[in-house]
Amino acid sequence: MRILIIEDEPDLLASLAQALREEGYAVDTADNGNDGLFNAEGTDYDAIVLDVMLPGLDGWEILKRLRKTKKSPVLMLTARDQTRDRVKGLDTGADDYVVKPFDLEEVFARLRAIIRRSANKTTNLIEIGDVKIDTAARNIFLKDKAVEITAREYALVEFLALHRGEVVTRTQLYEHLFDENESSLSNLLDVHVSNVRKKLGAEFIATRRGHGYCIE
Amino acid sequence: MKIFNSIKWRLQLWYGLILVVVLAGFGFTAYQLEYGRQMRRIDGELHLRFGMLANALHESMPRPPNRPRFGSPPDNQWPEDRPPRHNPPPQKFVLPDWAARFFDATNRYGYYYVISRDEHELDRSTNAPVEDHDRFARNPNYINAPPTLPRNEPPVEYNGEPVTDADLKNQRFAAGQPGSAWQRGDFREIVTDLPSGEWVVIGKNITPELMELHRIGLELTLIGGIILLLGLAGGGWLVSRAIKPINEISATAVKISAGDLSQRINVAEAESELGQLAAVLNSTFARLETAFAQQKQFASDAAHELRTPVTVMLTQTQTALNRERDAESYKQTVEACQRAAQRMRRLIESLLELARFDAGQEVLKRMHFDFSKTLSDSIEMVQALADERNVKIISEISPLEITGDAERLAQVVTNLLTNALQYNRPGGEVCVKLNVQNGLAVLEVADTGQGIAPENLARVFERFYRADSSRTGAGNAGLGLSICQAIIEAHGGSIAVTSQPGSGTTFTVRLPVA
């Protein structure tokens, strides 16, 4: 899952990015409105965390322009908790909002929720054959037994599971699993796929030659 | 509310009283005029009859042998020959028929007496009231009756000409002059003293006239009553109309005091006194609403400014505590938290400072000090920032000593200089001027930055207002210029700003020297 954070307060931006990376997300950051909009329009993010008060373009303006081209779910961070501000955000196209000051747990939960909704899932539990994925706890069970899995491997499984039945290209996977700062070594993805197959069964992820990967 | 404390009812009461007095005055006057008119008419009629009677008597009266017939004395001896009052015997008049018709029983209203000099009744019409004729002499208290019968003095003037003895001798006034009229009960009478010595009383029963007057009186009272009622109703309507805006004002005020500050009085007649009052109240309400909105905005902005550093501290600490970290990450977290806490401290200090100025609790030290030195010290202090941003500071400072709080004024100067540097372009200039104009110390700080759009210029001193509508750095909460303004105004000075969008902004501070 790849997330963009647009926030101008450097300390807040740094800690949010760190916390989300530790949650297994690939995180890009922008500290002003113009860069934020540029990034958001250039990549299909799984979610965007957007502050309202920004130098350059403000959050509402970014949202308005972004919605012309992208459907990425947006979580607004707002310091104003007046109803009209929240209504304005939601009406402009935000999927949810968090009022500052917030708890990280809440931000995580709301991010999971908007990502889940954008994939048309209603629960945190995805079942594929013998494999169960708990997207809230970020755990994977094989025949009701927890499987030891790295954050990056989990992210790979979750992304494929959320796009079950679709062929996901390698480019897409790179885009959604790695942030802009990571050197996308071409074989890194193959390593993750092979590790997941070892843990969950060789046929869990099917390879479509010349296209990509797929969970049936 | 007691009913008589209500303005409406008091107005009604006074209005009603005045109306009653005016109507009563009119009614009384109208009645009096009508009464006088009737009486003059009756008197005229009586005079007419007197004329007829006098002529009839003149013609028909038998003549005593030793006495000239009045009206045509045979010789010039008449005045001397005038007989004494008691002397002649009672005589009888005989009225000719044509005259008697005016006084017979079929004519209920006219009557006459003729009384001799010795107060015997010589004649009376058949319809004369039964009272004795000598009631005049015997009953002086008789209603409206003169105590004695009037004596006709010989006239001294007739038709505007003096009366001569010859006239008297020629008996030009044989028929006599009708006397004055009076009224007793239902009767109106004229008593005339004939030159021949008799009294003639012509009277009339005026009951119909009195009844007519009575009816007119009743009519006047009735009309007056109707007018009073109409007047009261109209007055009530007028008063209600006049009071209505007051009720509207009161209703609006009630809503406003209940907390709905957006309410306004509907000003229908802006020119009337109440319209003007409503306009004044409306502008007061508008100012109140603005003040309340500003207060609310201030509290909201202050909370907003505090939210960001609190958020930083929460996310930093929660991230750090999520798992075990090395010493370096903990240090970074603590440093970030410290920055956030410092930012909150600065914000709180600024807020408290403003609150003290607002409450008038900020005590300024009053001392004589070298303001030009304060200025050069401040310039020296911000020189590092100027070098960092590659901005040149040009100063034209005249030596100047003023009285005030040196520390506070240094704060203002530093703030203005820092702003001028921060909002400047690289390679720009900041021009600082200090001199005396019109007895005021004038400090100008001009930058060569982007300038401020005219529509935002008035707002730069507003609390939490930032010209670029976003944070430009931690600790800049948009309170600096508000505090500068508070300090300058507490010194009795003023601060103003002018700006050319694209070429720069100039802040001008004017301070009293002493």
Chain B residue numbers touching A58 (CB-CB < 8 A): 469-470
Query: H helices within chain A, ranges in order?
Result: 10-22, 33-42, 59-66, 83-92, 104-118, 151-162, 170-177, 188-200
CA separation for the pair B494, B509 (Å, rounded): 6
- pLDDT for A28 equals 92
Task: Tell me if A15 and B312 make a contact (CB, 8 A cut-off).
Answer: yes
Among A16, A79, A103, the residue with its CB nearest the CB of B307 is: A79
pLDDT tens for each residue of A90-123: 888 889 989 888 999 999 999 999 988 888 777 8
Task: Tell me if B471 and A9 make a contact (CB, 8 A cut-off).
Answer: yes
Please state whether the peptide bond connecting residue A101 to the residue before it is cis, i.e. omega within 30 degrees of 0.
yes
CA distance A54 to chain B (A): 6
User: Averaged over A50-79, what is the pLDDT?
Assistant: 88
Question: Nearest residue of A to residue B317 by CA position?
Answer: A15
Model-level pTM?
Answer: 0.57
Chain A residue numbers touching B340 (CB-CB < 8 A): 11
- pLDDT for B474 equals 42
Among B308, B336, B472, the residue with its CB nearest the CB of A100 is: B308
Question: Nearest residue of A to residue B316 by CA position?
Answer: A15
- pLDDT for B514 equals 73
- In the numeric block, the tokens 């025949």 are attached to A143
CA separation for the pair A59, A177 (Å, rounded): 25
The domains located in chain B, with CATH, are 7-78+85-211 (no CATH), 273-359 (1.10.287.130), 367-512 (3.30.565.10)
- pLDDT for B155 equals 46
pLDDT tens for each residue of B291-318: 888 788 788 878 878 888 899 999 999 9
Chain B residue numbers touching A103 (CB-CB < 8 A): 314, 318
Task: Tell me if B311 and A104 make a contact (CB, 8 A cut-off).
Answer: no
CA distance B293 to chain A (A): 14
- The yes-or-no verdict on residue A189 having pLDDT over 60 is yes
CA distance B304 to chain A (A): 6
Question: Nearest residue of B to residue A32 by CA position?
Answer: B470
Hey, what long-range contacts does B167-176 have (CB within 8 A, 24 or more apart)?
B168/B79, B169/B73, B169/B76, B169/B78, B169/B79, B171/B70, B171/B71, B171/B72, B171/B73, B171/B78, B171/B195, B174/B58, B174/B70, B174/B71, B174/B72, B175/B51, B175/B54, B175/B55, B175/B58, B175/B71, B176/B54, B176/B152, B176/B200
- pLDDT for B493 equals 92
Task: Tell me if A11 and B339 make a contact (CB, 8 A cut-off).
Answer: yes
Stronger pLDDT, A11 or A124, i.e. the higher one: A11
CA distance A187 to chain B (A): 30
CA separation for the pair B87, B394 (Å, rounded): 141
Chain B residue numbers touching A100 (CB-CB < 8 A): 307-308, 310-311
Structure token digits, residue A108: 């995580």
Structure token digits, residue B187: 């009767």
Q: Does A8 touch chain B (CB under 8 A)?
A: yes
Which strand ranges, in their side-by-side order, compose the sheet holding A145-147?
A125-128, A131-134, A139-142, A145-147
Per-run averaged pLDDT (10 residues), chain B, 514 residues? 72 90 93 90 83 71 48 44 47 64 63 72 70 46 40 46 51 50 76 72 82 91 92 88 81 85 75 80 87 82 84 91 89 91 88 85 86 91 89 90 90 91 89 90 91 84 71 62 90 91 90 84
- DSSP structural state of residue B164: P
% of residues, chain A, pLDDT over 70 = 98
- pLDDT for B467 equals 65
